[in-house]
Every structure is written in C-alpha cells, then in structure tokens.
Amino acid sequence: MRDSVSRALSINSDMTVVGVAEDYDSAVELVETHAPTILFTDVRMPPTSTDEGIRLARCMRTAHPEIGVIVLSNYAEPHYAAGLLDGGTTGRGYLLKERVSHFDELAEAVRQVASGGTVLDPQVVEALLAQPRAAKTLNRLTAREREVLGELATGFSNRVIAQRLVLSQRAVEKHINAIFAKLELTVNDSVDRRVKAVLMFLGDDGSG
C-alpha cells in the first residue's frame, strides 16, 4: 500500500514524495526531518496496529498544525472519521484504500487537504448519514439536498458536484443555499459552513 500511494502521487508534477515510514515513530521522525505539506497514514500500523493513524493525526494537530493529514482505511468506520476530525476539520481527509487506484480522485483529495479543506470518502459519508444521531437534523432535507450535502462532505467543489449529479452549477448553488438555511448555518466569516455541514454528520453542531 505504501508503494501504491507513492506511485499514485509521483505521477503528478506538482507532488513529491519526500519519505516513506513503516511505523508510528518513523513517521514522526520523517515529519520532523522533511516538514511535508501532507502526511498519509494508515489507520492501523505498527507497533500495535490499532489506531496509530488517528493518534498520529491528533499529534500533528498540536505539534504541526500546518501539516495536512489523510488517513487511509480498509473500512468506512464513522468512529475513526470522528476521531480524525475531533479538534477541527481543517486539512484532514479520510479515504478508503480502494481510492488509491483512482489517481485523479486521490490527487484532488491531496490538493483539497493541502489547501485546508476536508475530504471524506463517499462511503464514509454514507456510513455517517446512516447513524441514528444524524437523522433528526438531516430529515429536514429533501432527498436531493441530502445527496448534495453528501457530495459537499466529500470536499468536492460546486462545479464537480454539478458534474457528478448531472446538474447545473446554478442548481447546485440553490440546493446548497437551501441546505444551509434548513440546517440553520448562518453566514459567519470565522466558520466554514461546508465544514459545519460535515460536522453535522458526526453529531456535532460545530460550536466546540
């Protein structure tokens, strides 16, 4: 998997892989040495193969807040996504490993996270939507609005959402405005409403 990620990223002229680590400690060491823009990590890795990736992301939040982190996993686990986004969504991504073979999507995710965005794998979004605690808030939305909100949570731009849902950008903008209104996400320069929409998937109103 490490080799696959390295190869997938290296084909992009605007990306350079500066190091590959085998476990938690060596990953921390590489970060200290190279200060990368993005850190890719598996959810589970040595020494305990439990949740090192999530703990590493939390460590980066404190030690190197400027470094984006993308966590890879075999499974769409909502609690791992929640753990990754705990403390803030800026510059964080959670992708299934199968996404590595989709070179364009992987590169776009890197760019989104590098710019401070949040990227969640579509299957992770589906799992979050299925949680009972999300239902009370999201039942205010129409089926199409829920679909658009799911695309928002994956980090896609309005243009890409329009392409994926076969809609005009104007229609997407109208749906997004309706979503923000129904979820009571008011305009606030200090808070990204798209991020707050993502947090609603996790049962968090974004105020913390």
Percentage of residues in the chain with pLDDT exceeding 70? 83
Question: What's residue 42's pLDDT?
Answer: 92
Question: What's residue 177's pLDDT?
Answer: 87
CA angle 177, 180, 181 (to 5 degrees): 85
Residue 53 to residue 71: CA distance in whole angstroms = 7
Residue 194 to residue 183: CA distance in whole angstroms = 11
Say if pTM beats, i.e. exceeds, 0.85. Answer: no
pLDDT at 31 over 90: yes
Residue 125's closest CA among 206, 197, 50?
197
Structure tokens of 149? 């909100």
